[in-house]
Structure 1
């Protein structure tokens, strides 16, 4: 199988190639459809990026499986040792609203573990990347998670419902809460040390978090599901039981407060 550097280079190049496609639609009243079933909106840009990535990546690695938000899912990927996990545009609502924090999120899983990842924000020209044996980078420069160890007064990227008392049997921590629409970007901001943690307690799609979770881990953070269990990818049901990402000490404190 290709080496980690080679696979990462493939993802980075593909993510950069996706940028101009998305930007052709950005702030130009893109065509939007509702996917139904509470699945949210999809735009012409999502579909165009997905088509390009599917063609490019599957041609380069025909033996890899494929899981993407914008491709009907099947069972073939479950028999593949390596699998692409793709969100063509993470933060579609932000994209529609003209916000510049949407991202292309590309990852490769091997035997359920992410081994290579790229998250690219084309409107910011910001590329986050990592593979399983290397450092986390932003535009080629080393990044690192914060050194926070306690939940109280830590900065967290999360939506307001995640701070409800029902999620915190041991007591709601006093967190400095902020939000970004793209889960992939939130994870990269934790990797960069710009925020201490990121968490979500609803079932979370693999394509939203696969790339960002590895980047955060290679930057020194711990990534788990919402109760502290290890994340597994390329599952038959491609959703995790939420996600918590934070430096090791802070992660332990957050899990303890979850009860």
Structure 2
């Protein structure tokens, strides 16, 4: 624990530290694949939960790797953590995985840090990156293994190039960093998959919403979130219109 740390500083420090744990574990070389991912999840999660409970003992905590305590739903402040977003990519030795540390306040993603340890960077809502110019042609992120039909439909009508990438955090941060322009996901996620990325993206001046345009709310009894849109602000209206067109046609 560091005295006087802001929530933003705490999130950034812990996400970066968890990333270092994961890199060190992978570099040892005694585990691989699924076993490596499981060990990484456990070790990063243990550190994150211990440090958050020490630094913010009055706050609630929701982690992908911890048994959920429904008491959190009655609290204003809840830390939402994914110790290893992109377990498959991590186990395969790729760079497109992330660590998410977020704080939701009254259901809103207020603070977030997303570490991209393979790239040696941590992006945070506390120090947002300046937005880069749009790509030409536009670039739209999709899953490596199961591109959503809605995303393919929207990309075709925008003339956007599809870019396959691993974890949700890596995809969201690619938009923040200007490597892509649109991340449209309709395959379902959980709160820990996107709370930190949403906080970072919003702080950077990007559009963030559900695919119907409604705001994303956190600290719900049911942590499942069906869909997500993160994109450049000037593209949001058209992307939402096309997504609605796809839904009505289906």
Alignment TM-score > 0.5, same fold? yes
Would you say the 8 A contact 1:165–1:172 is kept in 2? no
> What does residue 37 of structure 1 align with?
none
2:140 paired residue among 156, 176, 184: 156
Partner of 1:76: 71
| Cα deviation code 1:28-58 (max 9, x no counterpart) | 2536669xxxxxx951111110011100111
Match of 1:61 among 52, 56, 59: 56
Asked whether the equivalents of residues 119 and 127 of structure 1 are also in contact (C-alpha less than 8 Å), the reply is yes
1:241 alignment partner, one of 220, 226, 230? 226
What does 1:130-141 correspond to in 2, within 5 Å? 130-131=125-126, 135-136=127-128
User: What is aligned with 2:193?
Assistant: 208
In 1, the alpha carbon distance for the partners of 2:224 and 2:169 equals 15
Q: Give the superposition deviation at 1:185.
A: 1.6
- 1:156-190, Cα deviation, whole Å (9 max, x unpaired): 11137555269859x85432110221111211111
Q: Which of 101, 108, 116 in structure 2 is aligned with 1:106?
A: 101
Structure 2, unmatched stretches of 5+, are: 245-250
Distance in 2 between the 1:253 and 1:49 partners? 39
* Matches of 2:133 and 2:229, distance apart in 1: 15
Question: What secondary structure, in the 3-state scheme, does the structure 1 residue paired with 2:119 have?
Answer: coil
Deviation at 1:24, TM superposition (A): 2.4
Q: What is the distance in 2 between the residues matched to 1:30 and 1:254?
A: 42
Task: Give the equivalent residue in structure 1 for 2:19.
Answer: 19
Q: TM-score, normalised by structure 2?
A: 0.86
Q: State which of 77, 101, 114 in structure 2 corresponds to 1:119.
A: 114
Question: What is the total number of aligned residue pairs between the two structures?
Answer: 238
Q: Counterparts in 2 of 1:175-214, with a 5 A limit? A: 175-214=160-199
The alpha-carbon deviation at position 219 of structure 1 amounts to 1.4
Mapped contact 1:107–1:116 kept (Cα < 8 A): yes
Residue 25 of structure 1 deviates from its aligned partner by 2.0
Alignment correspondent of 2:89: 94
Instruction: Please list every run of 5 or more consecutive structure 1 residues that lacks an aligned counterpart in the other structure.
Output: 35-40, 137-141
Q: Is the 8 A contact 2:169 2:197 kept in 1?
A: yes
**TM-score, normalised by the number of residues in structure 1:** 0.83
Contact kept? 1:145, 1:221, Cα under 8 Å: no
Kept after mapping to 2: 8 A contact 1:32/1:44: no
User: Does 19-28 or 5-14 show the bigger shift?
Assistant: 19-28
Alpha-carbon contact 1:117-1:130 (below 8 Å) kept: yes
Q: Do structure 1's residue 219 and structure 2's residue 204 form an aligned pair? A: yes
Q: Separation in 1 of the partners of 2:147 and 2:159?
A: 13
